[in-house]
Chains A and B, each alone.
Chain A
């Protein structure tokens, strides 16, 4: 049986898993879109994004559209690999 402890704790947190699931299926998404689909607050989303960025799983790009700031997020290669490893891990854990 696959050990639960081997699941990546960065990916395992539900909000972070939700963020990575969204980002793996699109080229990029902005902060407000992620907030809408993950149904979380600005602060909570910001904290989780920071952890994902620190782990090198997510790339954060800040820009301006007119005078409004825009934060665009995309998954990195290592983020994609970590996500795939996580899915493989839970599949083995649940013996699907």
Chain B
């Protein structure tokens, strides 16, 4: 074997090795979206209870519509800001974006079509949302290989089961409690991890 050619091929193998080591293939998730939705849902839940206490039942829909619209606007802002900064798009970040779009579209179909058309009973809304949140969190945990998110997903599924055995009057309260370990805690943990990786 010609030694010059052999060296060329060996050098190229080193190029491949070095590029594989340098290329960032992991998705970086700042957790901002979890934090945003977490606080918005908590705010919506507290306001719902206040409106129920005041017996303003017909206005409850407005709280959710306004706060969820704020959530969508905030999410678009976060995604746009991220896209601007993003130098490399990994396959896992594409998978994550598509997963959360699927969860978001599912939420919208159920809330804005299934409920008004009365094909989905209002009593099951929180249960369905908790199940979808569980799918989102658990799969995100799998993609990012982070158990805290997988546990967050399990918490949502446990919350859904608990709701199935309790009166629907308590569902929003159970949902609000599940938001803390299921959204906010992993959201802030992801945010800390992201900030540390940016400073490294």
Q: Which A residues are closer than 8 A to B by beta carbons?
A: 1, 4, 7, 12, 14, 17-18, 21-22, 25-30, 32-33, 36-38, 65-66, 87, 90, 93-94
Contact = CB atoms under 8 A, between A and B. Distances in A.
Contacts, number: 68
Contact of B25 (A14, A18, A25, A28): A25
Q: Main SS of the interface on chain A?
A: helix
A1 B2 CA distance: 12
A76 B83 CA distance: 22
Contact of A27 (B12, B20, B84, B90): B90
26 contacts: A4-B9, A7-B9, A12-B8, A12-B12, A14-B11, A17-B16, A18-B19, A21-B15, A22-B19, A22-B23, A25-B20, A25-B23, A26-B23, A26-B90, A26-B91, A27-B89, A27-B94, A29-B87, A29-B88, A38-B19, A65-B84, A66-B84, A93-B9, A94-B9, A94-B10, A94-B13
B5 interface: yes
A36 B23 CA distance: 10
A16 to B, nearest CB: 10
A26 to B, nearest CB: 5
Contacts of A21: 15-16, 19-20, 23
A22 B22 CA distance: 8
B12 A14 contact: yes
Interface residues of B, number: 29
Interface of B is mostly: helix
Nearest to A15: B15
B1 interface: yes
Contact of A37 (B5, B9, B19, B90): B19
Contacts of A14: 11-12, 15
B194 to A, nearest CB: 18
B12 A90 contact: yes
Nearest to A7: B9
A73 to B, nearest CB: 10
Contacts of A29: 87-89
B12 A1 contact: no
Given A18-B15, A65-B84, A90 B9 contact: yes
Nearest to B95: A27
Contacts of B94: 27
